[in-house]
Chain A
Amino acid sequence: MNLPSIRAAIGETISVTTTINGASRRFDVEPRRSLADVIRDEAGLTGTHLGCEHGVCGACTVLLDGEPVRSCLMLAVQADGTEITTIEGLANADGSLHPIQQGMYDAMSFQCAFCSPGFLMSAVALLRDNPNPSTNEIREELSGNLCRCTGYQSIVEGVETAVRIMGAQQ
C-alpha cells in the first residue's frame, strides 16, 4: 500500500446499530474494523477473546441472530441491524448461571479458560438445535474450537452436564 491509499482508508466512519445482549447500541466505526474489535473495544465486552484472528481457534465466537459466527472474520459494518449475544449475555439478570455455564463449572471444564467464550457460545447453539446430543455429536460440534489446556474431555463433560441440568429444569 502507498501513503495516499492508506490515508484514504483512515478516519471515514459508518454508523452501525446492533442489539448486544438485549441492549441496543450504536457505533461509528471505520469500515475495516472487525466485529470482534468493536465488541471488545467499543462495547467494552472483553469476555469475547481473540486467539488467532484468522478464523480457526474459535475463541471469538458470538451468536449473531442466533447463529455462531467468528467475530474476528466479520466486519462490524456487516453486523448492522443484527442481534448479538456474547458470553456476558448468558447468565440471567439475577446472576444465576445459564445451564451451559453451570455445566462447565461443575465439570471443571476449563483451565486457563481463554478459549471458554467460544466453547460456551458454540455449545449454546448446539443445545438449542439439538437438546440431547450424543457424545460424538458434541465432539463434532465443538471441533471448530481449539483448547490447548484440557484435552477436551472435561469440556465435553461440561456440555453433557448442561444437558442433564436442562433436563432437570423441564
Chain B
Amino acid sequence: MTPGYETGPTSDRQTSGLGFVGQRVKRVEDERFLIGKGNFVADLTPDGVHHAAFLRSPFAHARILSIDVTAAAALPGVTRVFTAAELNALTNPIPPFFMADGVYTPLYSCMSEDKVRHMGDPVALVLAESRYVAEDALELIEVDYEDLQPTATIDQGLDTSREQLWELADGNVLADTSFEFGDVDKTFADADRIITRTFECPRQTNQPMETRGCIVLVDPDSGHLELHNTSQAPHFLKWAIAALLVNDGAVRNLSTFLRNKERRKAFSSASKEFLKTNIDKLKSSDPAGQKAQLSKDKSMLRHQARMAMGLLAAEDYPTVKAGDIGGAFGSKGSVAREDIAVAAAAKATGLSVKWIEDRVENLLDGGQAREERFTVSMAVDEDGTFRGLKVDAVLDQGAYPAFPISGVATLLFWKVYMPGPYDFGAFQLNGKIVATNKGKVVPYRGPWANETFMRERMIDVVAAELGMDPGELRAKNVLREETMPAALLTGPTLDETMSVAKTLDHALSLIDNDQLARDKAAARERGHRLGLGIASYHEAAPGPPNFFESIQPGSDMFLYEDGRAEIQADGRIVMYTSQSPHGQSHQTTYKQVAADEFGVSMDDVEIVWGDTDRTQFSFLGTGGSRGGPLGAGVMRVTARELRRQVAAVAADMIEASPDDIEIVDGNIHVAGVPSRGIGYRAVAAKVARETGIADGPVFAESMKYEGVGNGGWSTATHVAWVDIDLETGMVEIPRYLVVEDCGPIINPGIVDGQVRGGVAQGIGAVFYERHHYDDDANLQSGTYMDYLIPTSMEIPDIEIEHLETLTAGENDARGVGEGGMIGAPAALTNAVSDALGVQVLEQYLPPHRLLELAGVIER
C-alpha cells in the first residue's frame, strides 16, 4: 500500500472488528480482473479445438429451397460442415417449458432447415481450424431462399390475414389469456371516472459486454461432454443438453430401455424420489396449460419419450462449467440454440469445438426484450382514490420462444405485479403474445418491468386529469403498514417488507419544491425545460412463500436454493453455491457471510461455483434477484450448521461446553479465554485421524433454503430530474435519486453498484436504445453505431438512500439486482412529461421525438 493512502476494508482485513457483513469490503474478484487474469470462456482455447461459425439467414421470413455446402466443405482448413437438417437429426426439438391456459408454444429445433423466421436464423454450421477459415467457408455455402411475407410489428402480429410463422397457431397470436381479481365490472361501474391510455414500449436488447459462448470438450474414451459456457444457469443447461441431444447409445427406444436392468432401476428410483419430494406440489399444478398446448400440437408427447432417453443415467449428462461471465442481464439464462448445435456437432464428430458469438450475432439474436403495448383503464374517484385497473397487453416475442423462460412467464408475472403497491379493489389483465420475424425475447433485468412503466406513467396521467400532485396521489393510494391487508389482491402475502410507502415518503421529503420551481424558471430562461418524475414499485426478491404459487400453481418447486459447506482434512473451509455469478460479486459477498459465521477471515473461505460436477442442482442459477436472499441465505445456514458441528468437536478437545465456544479470527476457544484456543486445522486433523480421511471433507453439510418471513419484498421509489434543451433535444439529468429498501445490506459498495447499473440501463432505454426493425423486419440496429449504449457522458451520478427495513427475527438480504431498471423508465418519462407539459405515451424518447413533443418540430 502507498504511504499516506488508506485503502479500507479488504478480504483479509476488516476495520470495525464487527465482522465483514455490512461493510464495504473490496471485491475479491477484482484481485484477478484488474491484472487481466479473469477466466472468461473466450480465454480458453484447448489444444486441437475446432472453431465454429454459423451461417445465418439474411432474410426475415423465407422458405429454404436448397442448400449446397460442397464448396465450403472442400476449403482447406475446414473440418466439417453441418446443414441444419443434419444437426436437427441429432437433436430433439426444444419443448415448451411454461405452459398456461390460452397459450400455444411452438416447438422448434436448434437449426432452421425448412424455413427461416428472422434475420440471423442459423441454417448451417462450419467447423474449421480457425474462426477466420470457418467464416471464409460460410461465404462458400449456397442457399436458395424463397421470400415469405414478414411480420414486423405488434399490429401485423395481431392481423390474422398475414403469413403465419407457425402453422398451428391462430394467425401469429400464440397466447390469448385473461386473469381477473375482484369484481371488475362492478368496480368500474361504481367509480367516478374511468381514464384510458395506450402506452408503447419499443424493443431493447440486453447487451452484456461479453457475448455468449460455448466450448465443448469430448472425452475421447467415454464420449463424455464437458461444456464451458457463459450460462447463468449451468445446471439447467446440463439438463437441457442431456435431454435435447438424441441418445444414440445403448438406449434407443423404450423396449431396449426396459431390457436394460441397470438403467431401469436407476430411472425408477430417481422418479420415486422426485415424486416423494414433490407430490403435494405436483398435485396442485394446473393441467390447463398442458391441455392448451396439446389441443394445438400433440408432438410434445412424441418427443418426451425421446428426450427422456437422454436423462436416464448419470453418464448421459454432460458436465457444464461456467467461469467468469461478462454480464448477462437475463440474456444468458436461456439455452441457446447454438449451445445445442455446437454440442451435437462435437458429439457427432468426437472433436472439441469452440463457438464465441460475435457482436453482430448477439445483436441479431443474443436476446431482445420489452417490445410491448398496454391499453390501460384506471377507475378512480374524484378525490383520487384508486378503484380498479384493466389492462390489455400485447407482447412481441419475436420468432422463437426462449427456453426455458419465454414471454409466457412475463404474462404470468404481469398478472401478479401489475396493480403494484397500491390499494386497487379489482384488476383484470388480458394478455396476448404475438410472434414476429425478429430475434427472440428473453428475460431482461426485471422481465416484467414495463408493468411499472405503464402503471407509474398512468398514475401521472390520472393526477393531471384530476388536477392533483403525482406524489400526493401515490401517497394517498400506496399500501401502508398500518392498514395493509394480509395479501396483495393478486395473491402473494405481505409483511412489513412491503415498504414502498416508506420509500415514497422519504423520497418526497428529499424533494425541495421551491428549489424545483426556481430551477424550472431558470431552465426556461436558457431555452430548456426542466421536470421531475416519480416512480414507485416493489419486487419479489425473493418474495413470500406463496409467490410462485401465485404466478403459476405448482411452479414453487423451483423456489429453494441449495448450498453445501465442507471443512477439508487440512482445515480449509469450502462453500458450494449453485448460483452462476456474472458481475454480482457473489464470491465476495458469500465469503463475507461465511467468514462471519465461521469466525474466520474471508481469505480462509473458498467459494465454489459454476461447475455442475461440484455444485448442487438448480433450475434457475443466477436470476430473479435471488443471489442475496436465497443464495447468501443458504451459505449462512449451512455455514452455521457446520460451525456448530466443529464447535462440538472443539469443545471436547479443550474440555469445555459447546455452548461456551466462541470463534474469533479462526481461534476456537472458550469465551474470554482466547489463549487456550485451537484452530480449524487442529479440529479437522483430529477428525481426519479418527476417520482415516486423509484428503477430502471431514465435516460436510448440504442444505436447502427457502428464505424467511411472509414478505421478502424489495421496494423503491425513484425520482428523476430531467433538463431538455429545446434547441437540440438533448437531455441532461441534473439529479437522480433512488430511495430503496432491500433489507439488511451485505456489502453497500456492491448494492450501490447494482442500483446504479440498473438505472443506467433505464436511462438507455428511454433516451438512447431502440432495437429497431424496419417494416420488412430487417434489423436496422445491427452494430453499436446504431444501437446506442449510453457512455460516461450520458449517465449522471446516482444518489442512493437505503432504508433497510427489518422484520422480527432473522432477516435475509433482499434482492436488488433488477430494481434500478424497473423504476427508471417511469421516473424519467414522468419527468419529461412534467418538463414539456404533455403526457408521454411511449417509452423511447430520442432528441427528435422530444422536440416533436415540445412542439419545436413537426412530426
Contact = CB atoms under 8 A, between A and B. Distances in A.
Chain B CB within 10 Å — which of A48, A50, A120 has the most?
A50
Contact of A153 (B582, B784, B795): B795
A108 B208 contact: no
A36 B470 CA distance: 52
A106 B26 contact: yes
A47 B756 contact: no
A105 B792 CA distance: 19
Interface in B553-589: 582-585
A7 B360 CA distance: 25
A34 to B, nearest CB: 10
A146 interface: yes
A47 B36 contact: yes
A32 B75 CA distance: 18
B144 interface: no
Interface stretch (A12-20, A52-60, A74-82): A52-60
Nearest to B42: A50
A106 B31 CA distance: 11
A102 to B, nearest CB: 7
B179 interface: no
Interface string A128-170: 0000000000111011111111111111100000001100110
B-side binding surface: helix, strand, loop or mixed? loop
Most chain-A Cβ atoms within 10 A of its Cβ — which of B24, B34, B38, B329? B34
Q: For this complex, into which size category does the number of interface residues on chain B fall?
A: 35 or more
A169 B326 CA distance: 33
Nearest to A56: B784
Contact of A114 (B27, B40, B749): B40
B1 to A, nearest CB: 8
Interface string A32-52: 110000001100011111111
B416 interface: no
Contacts of A154: 752-753, 756
A71 interface: no
A153 B756 contact: yes
Contacts of A152: 760, 791-792, 795
Contacts of A120: 34
Contacts of B136: 1, 6, 9-10
A69 B7 CA distance: 31
B760 A150 contact: yes
Interface string B353-389: 0000011100000000000000000000000000000
A93 interface: no
Contacts of A164: 5
A168 to B, nearest CB: 4
Contact of A169 (B2, B29, B795): B2
B785 A111 contact: no
A143 B791 contact: yes
A67 interface: no
A87 B792 contact: no
A63 interface: no
B757 interface: yes
A6 B760 contact: no
Nearest to A157: B797
B43 A46 contact: yes
Contact of B784 (A52, A110, A114, A150): A52
A61 interface: no
A139 B287 CA distance: 55
Interface in B23-55: 24, 26-27, 29-31, 33-38, 40, 42-43, 45
Interface residues of A, number: 69
Contacts of B809: none
B757 A149 contact: yes
B107 interface: no
Given A111-B753, A112-B209, A112-B326, A97 B139 contact: no
A124 interface: no
A88 to B, nearest CB: 4
A130 B26 CA distance: 27
Given A56-B785, A111-B327, A143 B792 contact: yes
B76 interface: yes
A135 B24 CA distance: 23
Interface string B308-338: 0000000000000000111101000000000
B825 to A, nearest CB: 15
Contacts of B5: 164-165, 168
Interface string B766-794: 00000000000000000111000101110
Given A6-B140, A108-B749, A147-B209, A30 B33 contact: no
B499 interface: no
Nearest to B25: A108
A104 B31 CA distance: 11
Contacts of A104: 30, 34
B433 interface: no
B77 interface: yes
B71 interface: yes
Contacts of B29: 113
A36 B854 CA distance: 46
Contact of B359 (A51, A87, A90): A51
Given A6-B140, A9-B136, A86-B36, A151 B757 contact: yes
Contacts of B582: 112
Contacts of B38: 46-47, 113-114
A164 B5 CA distance: 8
Contacts of B358: 53
A114 B760 contact: no
A108 B27 contact: yes
Interface string B225-262: 00000000000000000000000000000000000000
B855 interface: no
Nearest to B581: A112
A3 B791 contact: no
Contact of B783 (A9, A56, A146): A56
B326 A151 contact: no
B798 interface: yes
A143 B789 CA distance: 11
A163 to B, nearest CB: 11
B207 A3 contact: no
A88 B35 contact: yes
Contact of A101 (B34, B76, B757): B34
Given A10-B136, A168-B2, A57 B209 contact: yes
Given A150-B756, A151-B795, A168-B4, A10 B133 contact: yes
Given A59-B209, A104-B30, A150-B756, A10 B76 contact: yes
Contacts of A88: 35-37
B541 interface: no
B209 A51 contact: yes
B505 interface: no
Nearest to B37: A47
Given A47-B35, A112-B327, A3 B756 contact: no
Interface in B71-91: 71, 74-77
A158 to B, nearest CB: 10
B220 interface: no
Nearest to A51: B209
A168 B3 contact: yes
A107 to B, nearest CB: 9
B26 A148 contact: no
Contact of A148 (B7, B76, B329, B753): B329
B852 to A, nearest CB: 27
Contacts of A11: 76
14 contacts: A54-B359, A56-B784, A108-B26, A110-B30, A112-B209, A113-B583, A114-B38, A114-B208, A148-B329, A149-B757, A150-B756, A150-B760, A152-B791, A168-B5
Query: Nearest 7 pairs between A and B by C-beta?
Result: A47-B36, A114-B326, A112-B583, A151-B760, A56-B784, A151-B756, A111-B583
Given A51-B326, A112-B325, A142-B792, 16 more contacts: A6-B136, A10-B76, A47-B35, A47-B37, A52-B359, A108-B30, A111-B327, A112-B324, A114-B38, A114-B326, A116-B34, A143-B792, A143-B793, A150-B760, A151-B753, A152-B791
